[in-house]
Structures are given as C-alpha cells and as structure tokens.
Structure 1
Amino acid sequence: MTERVLWLADESATVNTGKTLANALKSVPSGPGIVIFLHGTLGAGKTTLSRGLIQGLGHQGAVKSPTYTLVEPYEQLEPAIWHFDLYRLGDPEELEFMGIRDYLTPGNVCLVEWPERGAGILPGPDLDLTLTPEGDGRSLVIEPRTAVGQVLLDRMQEQNGFAADGQPLPEDRTDQD
C-alpha cells in the first residue's frame, strides 16, 4: 500500500486537508463502515483536521473535541460521522460498555483520535493519519491499511489543490506491504 507524507504549513492547510478527505469519503461507498485513526500528541492538529473533514461534509456549526463525552455524533451528514476522542478513556473495555459495535455499522464513518487507548477493542483502521508538529507547521503521514483506505488516498490525490498550500512537501514515500 502507498504511504503519503505531506507538509501542512498552518491551521488552514490542516483544515483544507480534512476537507479533501471529506470529498474523498463522499466518492467512496462506506459499505460496512469506514474507520479512520488520528494519531499525534496533544496539539498536533487532530481535531483541526477532524473539523475540516466534518465541515467538508456539510456541518455548519462548531466542531468540538469530544474529550469529555468520548464521542460526538454527526448523524445528519452523508456519510454519518462518529467523532471519537479516547484521550480520557481509562480502559479499552469501556468502549464495550458504551456500545462501540453499534457505531461500527454500514454507512458510518468512525473518526478516532487517540486510537491506541482502545487497543484490543477497536477494529483496525482503513486509514491511519499521523500528525507531527514541526516548527510552525506539521507533517501528516497518510497510511492506507485496507483497499478502501487506498481508494480514499487515491481519491484525495486526484483532487485539485491536494497539498497545494504553497509549501514544498518534504517527501513522498511508497512502501509495499
């Protein structure tokens, strides 16, 4: 599978990349459901990218991090988004008590910040996104983990303006699984 590394110079570039992912999601049938993991330290831009994605699907209001509620629903969107923030999760088993399997249904997209806190309970992702602060911006590594994830990355790359924030990309890598 192909891995892509991007340089996101600022908040605007991060939001725009989320919108690019939203457009890719619109073009891919969500079939059994799509799972996207967001990795990164506090302040790396996970919620900013999530905001771009959710607004790119048509949400008009604020997009807040579900740090205290663990999940924020956006059921009115197409596809429906369930935005998880597992930072405050005490034990992965808590996901079973909150009915995680009910969210992982056909047509839904589960966007999960801090997925490592749900290890052993969460299914594997279709797309792994890792944000790393670097200077005034951040790098974004996009790693497809399934055929659906690869299609999402391919569709992102087909869009005009993908990574066109005026900054050189530090590298693009292609890894074979």
Structure 2
Amino acid sequence: MPIDVIPHRPILGTRQILWGNEAACEAFARALAAAPGLRHAFIALQGPLGAGKTTFVRHLLRALGVQGRIKSPTYAVMEPYDLPCGPVAHFDFYRFGDPREWEDAGFREVFAAPGLKIAEWPDKAAAMLPPADLTMTIDPIDEERRSVTLNAGTPRGLALLEAAA
C-alpha cells in the first residue's frame, strides 16, 4: 500500500527565544519592525488561544506607526492598515471555514499585492496561503513567559530572522 507523502516546506533557519514578559515581546516586535525585508513579508503566527499572537501583532503594528485602536480581526478575518512604510494586512483565520470566502473576500489579491501580511491561525487557511517567510510559534510557559520558535521558510524570512536577533 503506497504511503502518502505530505510535502514539507523547507526551513532555511530556526531560532528559539524566550520572552520573559510583555516588554520582551515588544522589544522583539520593534527589532523586527526595523528589518527592511519586513515591508513585503508574510508572517504566520501559531500558538494556542491566549498565547500572545494578537499582543505581538499589536506591538509590531505600533512599532510600524499605527496610531489609535488596533482591533483584532477575529470576526472581520482581516484588518487592513495603510502606513507610510506600505500596506499591512492582519488576518485572523480562527473562524475561517469556507474556502469560497477566500475568493469572495479578495484575499488572493491581497496576498498577491505588495505589503506586509500577518496571519494568526494560518493552519485554518493553509491550502490557500503562500509559503510563510517567517513562522512564529508562541507557546505560553506561564502567565508572563513565552517560548517562541522562529522558522524562516524563505530567504526573506532568513534575513528577518537574522535582523531580529
């Protein structure tokens, strides 16, 4: 009986870091925001509910210049931002369930256009998403600390990994 082989996207580099508190998350977000390749990257965020994915995105968006309230796109699926550094699209695919929604909402065009894309719960839309430049897996250790695994899936992701070190 043949065995189905599930293709694995290559990992060009990996790094494990510890966020001892939210200030460490913010510092990492600021360092990543300063990386030149970020402006056109796709970052996939993984981790359980309450891991800190949205908190990280809020810190990253603040570091990129977003003023005012930063909403979670849990119900809207996508929140767009038009920044001086370029467009940013923050996705939350937690409630994503219908592949037709991908086409109907114009997400294919968003991913094809220039700009930063950040996706929480990318596994819910994995069949439609391009390979992530950088995949961040955030695992809670306790109330404050987070273990973060960074995997670079593209040369751009590898540059981001090195820039945020």
Q: Where does structure 1 differ by over 6 angstroms across 4 or more consecutive aligned residues? A: none
What runs of 5+ residues in structure 2 fail to find an aligned partner?
A: 1-11
In the TM superposition, residue 92 of structure 1 has moved relative to its aligned partner by 3.3
Work out which of the residue numbers 7, 14, 19 in structure 2 matches 1:3: 14
Task: Report the AA paired with residue 152 of structure 1.
Answer: L
Give the corresponding residue for 1:88.
95
| 1:49 matched to 2:60 | no
Task: Tell me, in whole angstroms, the C-alpha distance in 2 between the residues paired with 1:36 and 1:29.
Answer: 9
Mapping of 1:1-177 within 5 angstroms?
Answer: 1-24=12-35, 27-28=36-37, 30=39, 33-136=40-143, 137-157=145-165
Paired-residue identity, %: 38
In the TM superposition, residue 148 of structure 1 has moved relative to its aligned partner by 0.5
Task: Tell me, in whole angstroms, the C-alpha distance in 2 between the residues paired with 1:38 and 1:57.
Answer: 18
In the TM superposition, residue 155 of structure 1 has moved relative to its aligned partner by 1.2
CA contact (8 A) 1:36 1:125 kept: yes
Task: Report the AA paired with residue 145 of structure 1.
Answer: G
Task: Tell me, in whole angstroms, the C-alpha distance in 2 between the residues paired with 1:29 and 1:51.
Answer: 15
Stretch moving more, 76-85 or 42-51: 76-85
Shift in alpha-carbon separation, 1:44–1:77, aligned structure 2, 3 A:
farther
Report the 3-state secondary structure (helix = DSSP H, G, I; strand = E; otherwise coil) of the residue aligned with 2:128.
coil
CA contact (8 A) 1:127 1:142 kept: yes
In the TM superposition, residue 29 of structure 1 has moved relative to its aligned partner by 7.2
Task: Tell me, in whole angstroms, the C-alpha distance in 2 between the residues paired with 1:87 and 1:148.
Answer: 26
CA contact (8 A) 2:33 2:64 kept: yes
CA contact (8 A) 1:21 1:156 kept: yes
Shift in alpha-carbon separation, 1:124–1:93, aligned structure 2, 3 A:
farther
Report the 3-state secondary structure (helix = DSSP H, G, I; strand = E; otherwise coil) of the residue aligned with 2:124.
helix
Report the 3-state secondary structure (helix = DSSP H, G, I; strand = E; otherwise coil) of the residue aligned with 2:55.
helix
Give the corresponding residue for 1:161.
none
Task: Tell me, in whole angstroms, the C-alpha distance in 1 between the residues paired with 2:68 and 2:91.
Answer: 17
Task: Tell me, in whole angstroms, the C-alpha distance in 2 between the residues paired with 1:87 and 1:51.
Answer: 17
In the TM superposition, residue 51 of structure 1 has moved relative to its aligned partner by 0.7
What runs of 5+ residues in structure 1 fail to find an aligned partner?
A: 158-177
Report the 3-state secondary structure (helix = DSSP H, G, I; strand = E; otherwise coil) of the residue aligned with 2:44.
strand
Shift in alpha-carbon separation, 1:123–1:23, aligned structure 2, 3 A:
same
Name the TM-score, length of structure 2 as normaliser: 0.86
How many residue pairs were aligned? 153
Give the corresponding residue for 2:7.
none
Task: Tell me, in whole angstroms, the C-alpha distance in 1 between the residues paired with 2:158 and 2:41.
Answer: 12
Task: Tell me, in whole angstroms, the C-alpha distance in 1 between the residues paired with 2:138 and 2:38.
Answer: 26
Task: Tell me, in whole angstroms, the C-alpha distance in 2 between the residues paired with 1:112 and 1:8.
Answer: 20
Cα deviation digits, residues 103-160 of structure 1 (max 9, x gap): 1134311100000000211111010000000023111111100000001111112xxx
In the TM superposition, residue 77 of structure 1 has moved relative to its aligned partner by 4.1
